[in-house]
Structure 1
């Protein structure tokens, strides 16, 4: 089935509700009118019965029929039958069918109204009384109001009510459709604005001020999503450009070496030198690809395969011993202070601290000291790696953990230099543990802080 629009659904719903409300209201009014008519009929019967009782008590029996005719003859909607104890009629305006049915009933001494349904289908509201004797013999009184007395009025009322319900449905459909369209117009405006947001115009945002209060939260949420998409798209574009540049350099070097060697015959030593250079470039490619795969795994949800208790002091000591020869070669001293334990993945924490140590040793001047401080407080531990290297520019600090980012773009890219993924991997590992990594740089040196929860 073809899906209905929101305008159509709301319009149909408003029309249906209007019809139901009018129908319920009409039924309530109809019952109220019928109840009022019944009350009027009961009161009229009571009044006429009291009038007849007064006349029977005050008028001589010889003049009773004439006086009753004068008093009651102008009431065509009420049937009267007054008879004596022998059944002789004193006064009557009742139809024969009603008198025949009355002959099968017994009068009562109390004024108790009844509803009689005759075999011909007519029904009457009746007072059938046995009048106590006042002058002469007792009488029987029959007063009946035809149930069809109010039928013409009720028929016209029902026709008017049905017409009102139909008109209400039509008016609700037309006015409801107009109101719904006006109400949903801001949604269409938001849709038009969203349609204009493309990859070339990710900086555009939805108009929050023009949206109604109910759509304000939706517009703000969409704007926040667009901001995240724009940021991710920019980072992806920069990452693609950086990745292309990083891969192009070793591949270009490989092709250059191969073309030079193949340009003319050479001795075995030249071939070995060329193959060695090619091997170094391929190792660089291999490191870039391995780091990219590791970074992709570290950034996935539930990136921690296992958790165990990790003693940070012994872990850092192992790394200091591993980097000891490199530090000695660069005339750099390595120190560690403090200790702590946490629950985490040992291999990933080992990789993160190794990246910080390698980076600190690489940028530490000869004769400097790379200091590793371990501590814990407020439910988390900190691993601070400091070196007295040159100060990093303030505008470069927020981007140090981006992929392939280098604070100094002008420096050469020697074979020993990394691909610019170490700090990005460190941040991904910290986030996988529910922590974070920070950096502070002054003229006295630079400190990287790896903050991880204890549990």
Structure 2
């Protein structure tokens, strides 16, 4: 059963249940009103009979009936009897309805009673007067109320069925409207394949559960896209990057073996082979790092990582490698709330990302130091790594995070072109951003930012 139909049924059942309770309550209220009204009519008859009985010691039955017909509406099967202290009837009526001594004594005891006796409703009232104590009992059959309640039940049943049908179709219409974004999402999801993971589902500007679902789904797509790109990068570029230095090495070896050469030439060939071997080693190391990141990418266990502590760990490592003060840490005033300094991330992967940025800065900044500026506020955490190199042109800055891209085409600076690509993927995994700030002439800054989510 589709959600639309299920929601329509739920809406109909809940609304119909509420309507049924209202109709039942209305039925009971009307029934209680009719019953009380009928008892009030019988009470009026006892009051009228008492007034007539007080004015005359004896009153003919015809006279009492005549007065009742003149002032009161005739009730079906109406019976009125007045009993004196000896439980003797004061009027002679043309019917065979009498009340027992127990009923008459109960009226004297309670002062007033009302009850049902078969189809009849009975009212008894006790009167005290200087002429003597007497009891008046009146009864009749409430035919009109019964007929009205039957009509009311028929009307209520018809309304219940009619409104049940209306509520079902109204609920289906509202469910259709409420779930129309889901239909759109389903259509868009059907078009997403492994070849176009860059596509995203549009969820509108609402802030409901559907928008939250769309955001989470898009986040999942982003992770899948990055994972696929990492795998495709490894497969597509590993063979090329490994083949190039191997081909160069094999060529140099073949040249060296083709004929005898002097010492200088052999030294040159060996130096060339050593250079290509070092490049091959660096490429293999980078590819293994890429494979490791790819492995951890979808399995990264997140925890709260304090970025300031991670920065000092990096400073300690690079001080040991480059010397004290070569990685110059510039800290902005830190907030008192330690939670502001943390983000949900995988510490080892984040360490690799920031370390790659610093390593890249040192390659272009030697022998000058590298600056790392750290700032944390309630809304964001910012890390800026600045070198004193020749700068990066706008054209190269737009491509610097592509796999195996190297800004220095003359290979004057060693590198495989994978480090910054890995860095961008890791930072993106943890919902951060990375950008380059450079005038293209002197110095470059890699700025990493993590925006803090606002609690609702």
TM-score scaled by structure 1? 0.67
Q: Deviations over 1:191-249 (max 9, x none)?
A: 2133223455556555666x878588458737964984697489545665444431231
Partner of 1:141: helix, strand, or coil? strand
Displacement of 1:174 in angstroms is 3.2
Question: Which secondary structure does the structure 2 equivalent of 1:386 belong to?
Answer: coil
After TM superposition, the structure 1 = structure 2 runs for residues 181-260 of structure 1, keeping only pairs within 5 Å, are 181-201=176-196, 206=201, 214=208, 217-218=211-212, 221=215, 225=219, 228=222, 232=226, 236=230, 241-253=236-248
Secondary structure, in 3 states, of the residue corresponding to 1:405?
A: coil
* Structure 1 residue 371 displacement after superposition: 1.8
1:381 CA displacement: 8.4
The one of 155, 169, 174 aligned to 1:174: 169
Deviations 1:90-135 (A, max 9, x none): 1336654xx24455541646994423355xx55633124356364x
| Rounded Cα–Cα distance in structure 2 between residues aligned with 1:79 and 1:228 | 89
Q: 2:363 aligns with which of 349, 358, 371?
A: 358
Scaled by the length of structure 2, what TM-score is found? 0.67
Are residues 60 and 161 of structure 1, via their aligned partners in 2, closer, same or farther at CA, if it must alter by over 3 Å? same
Report if the CA contact (8 A) 2:246-2:276 is conserved: yes
Alpha carbons 1:375, 1:382 under 8 Å: kept: yes
1:287 has 2:282 as partner: yes
Among candidates 142, 148, 152, match of residue 157 of structure 1: 152
Post-superposition offset of 1:67:
0.8
1:132 corresponds to which of 124, 129, 133: 129
1:420 equivalent in structure 2? 417
- In the TM superposition, 1:22-421 aligns within 5 A as 22-59=19-56, 61=58, 63-72=59-68, 74-86=74-86, 87-88=88-89, 90-92=91-93, 95-96=96-97, 99-106=98-105, 108=107, 112-118=111-117, 121-122=118-119, 124-130=121-127, 132=129, 134=131, 139-146=134-141, 150-201=145-196, 206=201, 214=208, 217-218=211-212, 221=215, 225=219, 228=222, 232=226, 236=230, 241-253=236-248, 281=276, 283-294=278-289, 296-297=292-293, 312=315, 315-316=318-319, 318-319=321-322, 353-361=358-366, 370-372=367-369, 374=371, 384-387=386-389, 389=390, 391-409=391-409, 411=410, 417-421=414-418
CA RMSD of aligned residues (A): 5.2
Rounded Cα–Cα distance in structure 2 between residues aligned with 1:205 and 1:381? 29
Decide whether the 8 Å contact of 2:80 with 2:139 is kept in 1. Answer: yes
1:251·1:281 contact (CA, 8 Å) conserved in 2?
A: yes
Residues 235-264 of structure 1: CA deviation (Å, up to 9, x unaligned):
545665444431231344466678x589x9
SS of the counterpart of 2:407? Answer: coil
Q: 1:337 to 1:22 in 2, by over 3 A?
A: closer
Deviation at 1:52, TM superposition (A): 1.3
Most deviating of 65-74 and 436-445: 436-445
Give the Å deviation of 1:22: 1.9
Q: Tell me if structure 2 keeps the 8 A contact 1:79–1:145.
A: yes
Secondary structure at the aligned position of 1:396 is classed as helix
Which whole-Å CA distance do the structure 1 matches of 2:448 and 2:172 have between them?
58
Q: C-alpha displacement at 1:372, in angstroms?
A: 1.0
Q: For residues 16 and 198 of structure 1, what CA distance do their matches in structure 2 show?
A: 41
**Number of aligned positions between the proteins:** 412
Q: Which runs of 5+ in 1 are unaligned?
A: 322-334, 362-369
Partners in 1 of 2:106 and 2:329 — Cα distance?
Answer: 111
Unaligned runs of 5+ in 2: 335-340, 342-346, 377-381, 451-456
Partner of 2:379: none
Q: Quick one: distance in 2 between partners of 1:105 and 1:51?
A: 19
| Conserved 8 A contact 2:11-2:167 | yes
Report Cα offsets for 1:142-166 as digits up to 9, x if no partner: 1124467633332332233233323
- 1:329 is aligned to none
Matched residues in 1 for 2:223 and 2:327: separation? 42
CA distance in 1, matches of 2:96, 2:209: 73
